Copies of this chain bind each other. A is one copy, B any other.
Amino acid sequence: MRLQNYFKDNIYANRGMTLESDINQTNEYYNLHNIALIYKKPTPIRVVQVEYPKNRIREAYFNEPSTLDYTGVYQGKYLEFDAKETQSKTSFPLSNIHKHQMEHIKKVLYYGGIVYLVVRFSALNRTYLLLGNDLLRFLEEYDRKSIPLDYFEKFGYFIEMKYAPRLDYIKVIDKIINVKECKKS
Contacts and interface: CB of A to CB of B under 8 A. Distances in A.
A11 to B, nearest CB: 20
Given A34-B110, A37-B113, A113-B73, A59 B58 contact: yes
Interface string A16-49: 0000000000000001001011010111110100
Interface string A145-175: 0000000000000000000000000000000
Interface in A57-74: 57-63, 67, 71-74
B56 A111 contact: no
Given A58-B58, A59-B57, A60-B57, A111 B41 contact: no
B43 A73 contact: no
Identical chains bound together, number: 2
Interface string A106-140: 01101111100000000000000000000000000
User: What 7 pairs between A and B have smallest CB-CB spacing?
Assistant: A76-B112, A73-B78, A73-B113, A57-B60, A42-B44, A78-B78, A73-B111
21 contacts: A31-B107, A36-B111, A37-B107, A37-B108, A37-B110, A37-B113, A41-B41, A41-B42, A42-B44, A43-B45, A43-B47, A56-B61, A57-B62, A58-B58, A58-B59, A71-B71, A72-B78, A73-B78, A73-B111, A76-B112, A78-B78
